[in-house]
Structure 1
Amino acid sequence: MNAATETTVLSDADKKARFNFNKLTKWLRHAVGDAINDFNMIEPGDRVMVCLSGGKDSYTMLDILLGLQQSAPIDFSIVAVNLDQKQPGFPGHVLPQYLSSLGVEYRIVEEDTYSIVKRVVPEGKTTCGLCSRLRRGILYRVADELGATKIALGHHREDILETLFLNMFHGGKLKAMPPKLVSDDGRHVVIRPLAYCREKDIARYAVARAFPIIPCNLCGSQPNLQRQVIGEMIADWDKRFPGRIESMFRALRNVVPSHLADPALYDFVNARADGVARADGDKAFDRENFAEPGRINILASRPDDDDGCGAP
């Protein structure tokens, strides 16, 4: 291969990488925009506190929200917040340097929750419960101090489905992780702008953008966490049955209370045959047709799994 041919090949590869990255960016922005619109996550004048952990999800959330801030028809401000939990070896310089380079307002909160968790939780037991409760309380306090009207967390579609199965398998509840909710103290609104985003797309975007990822070492030594097991199950389904994850997530947005079994959710007690046809009536004798998982239509605008990504 001569020099001219090699240059052409490299140029074509660069063009393809840029095309795939732009396609991926467009998809993620579209998914985040849809979630914001569907749940009215961000309103005019909002001050959004973006919780930045240093992982791929929160980096992507901040990056997409900053982009949308420039093009959205409403005005809202962003303040990035990181909670330094004093984990051994945590590179405290990474996030301040990154956020300063963006010119975004930020605050680093230093709280030694690591020592508390290690002292209270017995060796070998799951630390996530206590860690998340401590972290949540601190973030609520900081939101008050910063005057934030919304608290943005970086949970994505698979996080929501994992929570659904965790509650079903271990908690006996049909409960997931909502894209928007009011905090338990009634004082804060928590939003999840990545609710419609696939984890694999976020991972590809994070690599393409070369975010300075900081791993969480506090729970990294707990390989048998229930959430991790559920996550592996969902990832296996996604690989073996294309479309199944999309179908499951759609189910969360297409609930039929009359066909579950919660008398507090539907008035089964007073259900009577009154001769009036109803859309939620029983169709026990009807034959239901279900599409094969691999045949479920997926949005055409979604980036292909095999596409490569190049840095912008």
Structure 2
Amino acid sequence: MTDTLISADAEQARQTEADKKQQYNFNKLAKRLRHNVGDAINHFNMIEEGDRVMVCLSGGKDSYTMLDILLSLQKSAPINFSIVAVNLDQKQPGFPEHVLPEYLSKIGVEYRIVEEDTYSIVTRVIEPGKTTCSLCSRLRRGILYRVADELGATKIALGHHRDDILATLFLNMFYGGKLKGMPPKLVSDDGKHMVIRPLAYCKEKDIEKYAIAKEFPIIPCNLCGSQPNLQRQVVGDMLRDWDKRFPGRLETMFSATCNVVPSHLNDPKIYDFVGAKADGTPREDGDKAFDKEEFKDPSRISIFATKPLDSGCGGDE
């Protein structure tokens, strides 16, 4: 009997220790994400005094995490801004319409559910087996811009993270012939709205862990998920493979997007190659063709290695 009690006490002690460790790890993760979101907001001046931020909520891990962290930061921010969550119900078959209203009501955030049957339009216009993303995105964008006007939103917050930004960079290089990524802040294509990406400095694997720990009621996107061979998924798989096999590589690549040297690329629209003259003046961005290139271990490169903290590129503590 005594041995049984001792065994039960030992098991309880182990469980208590495991719970403490789990809570410690979650607190550390939450702090890192808050820090990264806060840095992105500050570096790019994403949210200003009096802003009304429309948080686009899809029901996926990224948008849930974005909303959760923005609500948390709102409580301690030195400025006042409001948040309204918006979900576009595209009438996909089997979409659980009750999930988001129940969740948003529970946490007490202002929200609006917009019902637009874009699913029928996409499936009618796009041939079976063809990529639906382009048309779906255009339809969704137009609707969200309209809703932003109706709600008086001054900023439209999207849940793209660091890995999305890198994937977009490679998609444009591989398939578009452009050195173009996905900026943390940009005026919309209609010139009337400001689009922000507060998760720009956040790793997808951190977001995934956070969403699991918070037990967000995730809603899968069946329309996009039914296309497993999309170019974006191929690039995403490549990045995840690199992250596993070469620790630090994604951090280095993201740092590169924040440390652009136009004089060492080939675009005369962003650097005056035609007017360049050898005038005897030393220059930091000058050619060093006779110097041996030196590269650091990617796992040891800080995101802030070549730029000061306030220049606009985030990293982990």
TM-score computed with the length of structure 2 as normaliser = 0.93
Summarize the alignment of residues 272-287 of structure 1 with structure 2, pairs less than 5 Å apart. 272-287=277-292
Shift of 1:2: 1.3
Provide the residue aligned with 2:173 in structure 1.
168
User: Retained in 2: the 8 A contact 1:84–1:110?
Assistant: yes
Aligned positions of 1:120-131 closer than 5 A: 120-131=125-136
Residue 72 (structure 2) pairs with residue 72 (structure 1): no
Question: Which of the residues 264, 272, 280 maps onto 2:269?
Answer: 264
Q: Equivalent residue for 1:208?
A: 213
* 2:102 paired with 1:97: yes
How many residues are treated as equivalent by the alignment? 302
What do residues 263-302 of structure 1 show as CA deviations (whole Å, max 9, x unaligned)?
A: 0000000111111111111111111111233443579x95
Whether 2:47 is the aligned partner of 1:42: answer yes
Q: Which residue of 2 aligns with 1:233?
A: 238
SS in 1 for 2:156: strand
**One-letter amino acid matched to 2:70:** L
For 2:195, give the aligned amino acid.
V
Which residue type is aligned with residue 74 of structure 1? I
Tell me how far apart the structure 2 counterparts of residues 180 and 282 of structure 1 sit (CA, whole Å). Answer: 32
Q: How does 1:214-229 map to 2 (within 5 A)?
A: 214-229=219-234
**Conserved 8 A contact 1:243-1:298:** no
More divergent stretch after superposition (227-236 vs 3-12): 3-12
**1: CA distance between counterparts of 2:299 and 2:193?**
41
Q: Which residue is 1:308 aligned to?
A: none
1:179 equivalent to 2:145? Answer: no
| CA deviation vs aligned residue, 1:164-187 (integer Å, no higher than 9, x gap) | 000000000000000000001110
Change over 3 Å in CA distance of 1:268–1:298 after alignment to 2: closer
1:76 is displaced (CA, Å) by: 0.3
Alignment correspondent of 1:17: 22
Q: CA RMSD in A?
A: 1.3
Which residue of 232, 253, 258 maps to 1:253? 258
Structure 1 counterpart of 2:25, which letter? N
What residue number does 2:65 align with? 60
Equivalent residue for 1:309?
none
Does the Cα contact within 8 Å between 1:36 and 1:193 map onto a contact in 2? Answer: yes
Distance in 2 between the 1:281 and 1:219 partners? Answer: 46
Select which of 197, 202, 209 maps to 1:192.
Answer: 197
Check the 8 A contact 2:255/2:303 in 1, yes or no: no
- 1:33 alignment partner, one of 33, 38, 62: 38
Aligned to 2:78, the other structure's residue is in SS state coil
Contact 1:243 1:297 in 2 (8 A): no
Q: Secondary structure at the match of 1:82?
A: strand
Q: Secondary structure at the match of 1:64?
A: helix
Structure 2 unmatched ranges of 5 or more: 1-5, 305-314
CA–CA separation in structure 1 for the residues paired with 2:300 and 2:113: 47
TM-score by length of 1: 0.95
Instruction: Specify the SS of the correspondent of 1:89.
Output: coil
Between the two proteins, what is the percent identity of the paired residues? Answer: 77
C-alpha separation in 2, matches of 1:11 and 1:52: 36
Q: 2:311: which partner in 1? A: none
User: Could you tell me which amino acid in structure 1 is paired with residue 77 of structure 2?
Assistant: A
Structure 1 segments of 4+ aligned residues over 4 angstroms from their partners: none
Q: Secondary structure at the match of 1:219?
A: helix
AA in 2 matched with 1:89: G
